[in-house]
């Protein structure tokens, strides 16, 4: 079965700093989702990447998919307290509509 | 905008009680899912449904059942709640798959979650 490993597991950054979160798959990535979760709440869809080399941006968040490395990275530029939360990656698990999720990266942004 | 709602944000039940968690989506999505989320274990799929009255077991179905009598509503049932079912329960929905190259899933949209405590 596919496993997704996220790194780092947690991150504390000063407001205004840039940061990167990685999601590495044990198998070939065919579709990769990024979600954000505020503490104790549901997941908010950020973006989906489908092809190797694809890059998408949403406000100050950019995600890329590196098919060869079986990895996706999420980059936040000039972080703000509103970026705080848990970021989860999810990947097409190969079964019907099934998605495997990583265990998440907890981000804190200090004003 | 897709809206997925869950009946309760917080729920406290006693061991042995029958528990119903309700999920409703308003976007006419075919697929609906129930996950539980636990620290260090991430999201784990309990059951999913791809059509009315259809259901499939996920990775951890033991101790749970589901019901989907109407397209917009998917219920998770704990027949006899136990303390190890204390968790955050998340419902999600998605459209039927559209095939784009090799991608065979569609984006799942999540509800706000129900934090269940079983005493």
Nearest to B106 by CA among B60, B48, B65: B48
Higher pLDDT, A58 or A37: A37
B52-86 pLDDT tens trace: 988 999 989 999 999 999 999 999 999 999 999 99
Q: Say which of B106, B109, B112 has its CB closest to residue A41.
A: B112
Residue B29 pLDDT exceeds 80: yes
Closest CA–CA distance from residue B94 to any residue of chain A (Å) = 9
Q: Tell me the nearest-neighbour CA distance from B83 into chain A, angstroms.
A: 19
3-state secondary structure of A21: strand
pLDDT of residue A85: 96
Q: Is residue B97 scored above 70 in pLDDT?
A: no
Tally C-beta pairs within 8 A across A and B.
69
Q: What percentage of chain A has pLDDT greater than the value 70?
A: 95
Instruction: Identify the pLDDT of residue A58.
Output: 86
Give the angle A24-A27-A29 at the CA atoms, nearest 5°. 70
At A96, is the pLDDT very low, low, confident or very high (cuts 50, 70, 90)?
low
Q: Is B47 exposed, middle or buried (0-12, 13-18, 19+ CB in 10 A)?
A: buried
pLDDT of B103 higher than 60: no
What would the mean pLDDT of A94-104 be, rounded to a whole number? 79
pLDDT at B95 over 90: no
pLDDT higher than threshold 90 for residue B112:
yes
pLDDT of residue B81: 97
Q: Which of B74, B105, B112 is the best residue to mutate to test the A interface, defined by the most A CB atoms within 10 Å of its own CB? A: B105
In chain B, what percentage of residues exceed pLDDT 70? 91
* Bigger pLDDT: B106 vs B94: B94
Residue range B24-40: mean pLDDT, rounded: 92
pLDDT value at position B114?
A: 96
What's CA B57's distance to the chain center, in Å? 11
For B43, name the nearest residue in chain A, comparing CA atoms only: A101
pLDDT at A40 over 90: no
Residue at token pair 């990685």:
A22
Confidence of residue A84 (pLDDT cuts 50, 70, 90): very high
Q: Is residue B101 predicted with pLDDT exceeding 70?
A: no
Q: What is the mean pLDDT of residues A4-22?
A: 96
B105 touching A, CB under 8 A?
A: yes
Q: Which residues pair with A74 in a beta bridge?
A: A21, A63
pLDDT, mean over chain A? 90
């Amino acid at each position: 079965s596919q496993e997704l490993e996220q790194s780092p597991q947690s991150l504390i950054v000063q407001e205004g700093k840039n940061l990167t979160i990685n999601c590495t798959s044990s198998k070939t990535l065919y579709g990769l989702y990024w979600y954000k979760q505020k503490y104790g709440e549901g997941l908010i869809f950020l973006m989906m990447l489908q092809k190797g080399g694809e890059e998408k941006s949403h406000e100050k968040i950019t995600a890329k998919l590196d098919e060869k490395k079986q990895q996706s990275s999420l980059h936040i530029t000039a972080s703000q307290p509103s970026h705080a939360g848990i970021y989860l990656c999810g990947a097409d698990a190969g079964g019907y509509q099934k998605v495997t999720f990583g265990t998440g990266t907890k981000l804190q942004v200090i004003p | 905008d897709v809206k997925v709602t869950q009946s309760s944000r917080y729920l406290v039940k006693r061991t042995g009680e029958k528990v119903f968690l309700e999920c409703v989506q308003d976007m006419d999505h075919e697929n609906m899912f129930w996950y539980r989320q636990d620290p260090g274990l991430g999201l784990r799929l309990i059951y999913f449904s791809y059509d009315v009255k259809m259901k499939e077991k996920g990775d951890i179905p033991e101790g749970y059942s589901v019901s989907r009598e109407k397209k917009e509503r998917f219920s998770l049932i704990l027949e006899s709640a136990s303390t190890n079912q204390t968790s955050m329960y998340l419902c999600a929905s998605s459209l039927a798959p559209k095939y784009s190259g090799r991608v065979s899933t569609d984006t799942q949209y999540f509800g706000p979650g129900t934090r269940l405590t079983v005493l």
